Amino acid sequence: MSNQIFPALPGIAIGVKRSPVYSTLVQGSISGKETRAAFQSYPRYRFTIPLNFVRKAGFSAQTIYDEAATLNAFYMQHRGQWDSFLYPEPYDASDTAMGFGVADGATKIFQLQRREPGNYTTVLGTFPVPTVPRTNLCIRSQTIASWTGTNATLANNATGAPDGSVTAGKITDTSTNAQHYASNTVTGLSIGQTYTVSAYVKAGTLGFCYVQLGTSYVNVNLNTGLMDMTSGAPYQITALPNGWYRVSVQRLAAATSEPMLIGAYATTGTFSYAGAGTGTIYTWAAQVEPGIVPTEPIVTAAAAVTVSPSYYPGTDGFEPVTEPAPGINLYINGVLFTNGVDYTIGAGGVVTWTGYPAVGAVLTWTGGYYRRCRFEMDEWEMEQIVNMVWGNAQLKLISVK
């Protein structure tokens, strides 16, 4: 297994093709029913590298460069498909603040890992693929009855939630002329950091609600899905099936703890109204998290919950970084640690910490990496790659595990 790096050739065109490759067994029956088995939790990659030109010294009096010799020697050293090498792919060869674990207080060894960026869609909305651990600071996120009701009675498991479970809560007003809401104190905030507060809400007998953290709020008409009032902070309203909306608003924390409110009201343009004791809205999956984008719900009980990102939601895999480049930096909760003192990075990108990172500590890394690849052929026509063969020559590489 060679650690030689694929040569940088001036004739490589911009349009290098990269294709993720999975392996799936498909077994079909006469009836047409299929059974499938996935053999890989993360893909290999195939690279097709177009060569605009490769020159051969001595081919003519004007040819003094010799990329052909460099490429031929590299191919011969690796005996075609036999030996692997390191390839610095042009599309994705580094990451910044990429999460690779959440400490449990009893583990020292972690695998460097990464995920492909992008978005994914579930019945709960469209979310960015997580690249760092995510935290929900709102405790008792799906048990609204354990919150504090102000001029409101609160009930758990009152109706079907967006995920199909009967876990959505209900807020019912009281016969008081005032604001009617459920509140929950959110702790662990960092002053000056931006957070996103969100909740799924649905009209009951009342058609308006608000979601609030501190003094940042957005009011929503649950019959139309339109904003009714706002504090001026950035907000988002996402429509979902069965009358549900996910409502979120950003908050620049002014204290280490601030109240989260989910409230109901009856008429546009006002928080307060004279309740009848029968006015209702439904709510589910409250969340307060660092950042400006609401992510997939994290269920909490009596404490905040931090989850480590997976490669893609719905899979149990991630893509290990087995060939980190020199100069990788590792962080715990955003604080830089020292290689050789606080940790070592061994073969295959395995990190061993000197001590045990504290429970709940977020582990991230920044730096570059290579793909371990091999040639996909045991023979090639040297004629194809020698001396300015414009647009005809291609090299094919495949990554190895």
> Hey, what domains does the chain have and what are their CATH numbers?
17-90+371-399 (no CATH), 94-133+308-368 (no CATH), 135-307 (2.60.120.260)
Residue 71 CA: distances (Å) to CA of 4, 17, 86, 103, 371: 13, 19, 14, 45, 18
The model carries a pTM of 0.79
Sign for the CA dihedral angle at 36, 42, 44, 45 comes to positive
Q: What secondary structure does DSSP assign to 201-268, as a single string?
A: EEESS--EEEEEETTEEEEEETTTTEEEEE-SS-EEEEE-GGGEEEEEEEEE-SSS-EEEEEEEESST
pLDDT of residue 209: 97
The angle subtended at Cα 286 by Cα 285 and Cα 291, nearest 5°, is: 115
- What does DSSP say about strands 148-150 and 134-136: parallel, antiparallel, or unpaired? unpaired
pLDDT of residue 395: 78
pLDDT at 109: 94
pLDDT at 311: 45
pLDDT in tens, the chain (401 residues): 889 998 887 777 778 888 989 889 999 999 999 998 988 878 889 998 887 766 666 555 555 567 777 888 888 899 888 999 999 988 888 999 898 888 889 999 999 988 877 888 889 999 888 888 889 999 999 999 999 999 999 999 999 999 999 999 999 999 999 999 999 999 999 999 999 999 999 999 999 999 999 999 999 999 999 999 999 999 999 999 999 999 999 999 999 999 999 999 999 988 999 999 999 999 999 999 999 999 999 999 999 998 877 544 445 457 889 999 999 999 999 999 999 999 999 999 999 999 999 988 889 999 999 999 999 888 765 555 444 444 456 778 889 87
- Look at residue 101 and give its three-state secondary structure: strand
261 burial (CB, 10 Å; 0-12 / 13-18 / 19+) is buried
106: nearest Cα among 311, 280, 356, 380? 356
- pLDDT score of 144: 98
Please state, in angstroms and rounded to a whole number, the distance separating the CA atoms of residues 377 and 393. Answer: 14
